[in-house]
Amino acid sequence: MKLLGRTALITGSAKGLGRRTALELAASGCDVAINYVSSREEAEQLVEDIEALGRKSCAIQGDIAKADDAIRLVSEVESQLGGVDILINNAGPFIRERRLFADYDTEDIHYLMNGNLVGTMLMNHRVLPGMRSRQWGRIIHFGFGHASEARSWPHRAVYAAAKVGLVSFTKTLAVEEASNGITVNMICPGDIRGGNKEKSIVDVAGIIDDESPRGRPGTGEDVARMIAFLCLPESDFITGNTIDVSGGLDPIRTHLKR
């Protein structure tokens, strides 16, 4: 348990990739703060699961797209579990309906930008003083496949713009905080669907995915294992990177269909 005594805050962690990551970090020794917007029942169950592993945990409601919530979230974790050593910025609103940029409502544009970029920046800004004082910290952002290439993504203009902006912020913050023992990286999951977000690799053994170059579906364990690796003390030389965990799949379809 190389992360024993560390406290992790994972946004949007009641379900999906966030949930799987929470369990992975708890198994590595972390106390874990769970964040949710509306999935209270799932968040409270996850707290029980983490405590069953012998770690401390708490569930805190908050929408990081709202500035006050983002800042309050960190303060509540500090009061319940102590300083945040590891911040996993998993939460990020996504509109599944394929939509041209001209058809977005102004409110949707602001919500997507705040939830995927501004809120994440505010969370980082709030945890940095504590990490600096301890001279140790791990910050993980979530992107999408090939985000670092800043390619076009028709029908996902706002989400893509926010995440590509987050790539630049990730690299900048990594350089600025390296001397303080703080690493900053971005994980870019592939097309991991539905219940697979919480499954282990063994759960999908033998299942064929014809769309994946690897040939099998991706799982939450694939993502969570990489995050746990980046959080290790020995991973302090790895910072400022965007890392695809995709099985080789390019999720962006560049052809605009009408």
Give 149-167 pLDDT, tens digit per residue.
Answer: 998 899 999 999 999 999 9
Asked whether the predicted pLDDT for residue 41 surpasses 60, the reply is: yes
137-142: strand order across its sheet: 57-61, 31-36, 7-10, 86-89, 137-142, 182-189, 242-245
Contact 225, 24 (CB under 8 A): yes
**Hey, is 135 helix, strand or coil?**
coil
Q: Would you place residue 229 in the very low, low, confident or very high pLDDT band (cuts 50, 70, 90)?
A: very high
Tell me how far apart the alpha carbons of residues 81 and 67 are, in angstroms, rounded to a whole number: 22
The residue to which tokens 């999408």 are assigned: 144
Q: Which two tokens stand for residue 144?
A: 């999408």
Residue 190 vs residue 172, higher pLDDT: 172
CATH superfamily placement of domain 7-245: NAD(P)-binding Rossmann-like Domain (3.40.50.720)
pLDDT of residue 258: 42
pLDDT of residue 257: 46
- How many degrees, rounded to 5, is the angle at CA 68 between CA 21 and CA 130? 60
What is the model's pTM? 0.94
Q: What is the largest CA-CA distance in the chain?
A: 54
Asked whether the predicted pLDDT for residue 253 surpasses 70, the reply is: no
